Amino acid sequence: MLIVAVSLVVLFIVGCKVLMTQTKKHSLEQTEVFKNNDLEITVKYSQPSKKEREIFGGLVPYGEVWRTGANEPTTFSTNKALRIEGQDLPEGTYSLWTIPERESWTVIFSSGQYDWGVSWGNKASRLPEDDVLNVLVPSQNTTEEVEKFTIDFANDPNRMQLKWDQTLVEISFEAMP
């Protein structure tokens, strides 16, 4: 009986790892780096595709926490303390989560580092008690349709952009002195 139980546990663990590996083939890992003087921000995320699906309000429900990408949660690392949308974020590495709404998004920087972005019930695995900073930013509808979820940076003013489908969200930041 013990051999059967151990075999099932091993099979389950191996199966989960194989499933994660197969899933990652469809949502490739990306790294985006922002450098300005001595400030460096690195964002690592996985890039899901639209594939003719309804994204916001469909695949990604409004009003619910989203891991902001696919696979593992997106990580946001900064070597300097930042002021993000007027609020302070200490230097460090954070998992990045969002709560999309039709006209605005809550962007969440969490100290929690999680193995996978969702639980078995397909709910975000983020724990609210790990939140370091939450900011509310407007979302914009665009005429351009973005097939793959993309995070990038723009200068003047410094801002991080989240783009997918016909939605654009910009988060402004500056290095703190």
How far apart, in Å, are the Cα atoms of 57 and each of 69, 94, 102, 146? Answer: 15, 26, 8, 16
Segment 147-158, tens digit of pLDDT: 999 999 987 779
Segment 71-122, tens digit of pLDDT: 888 999 999 999 999 999 999 999 999 999 999 999 999 998 776 555 555 6
Specify the residue for token string 């509310």: 136
**pLDDT given for residue 20 in this prediction:** 54
Return the SS3 of 46. strand
Give yes or no for residue 22 having a pLDDT over 50: no
Give yes or no for residue 125 having a pLDDT over 70: no
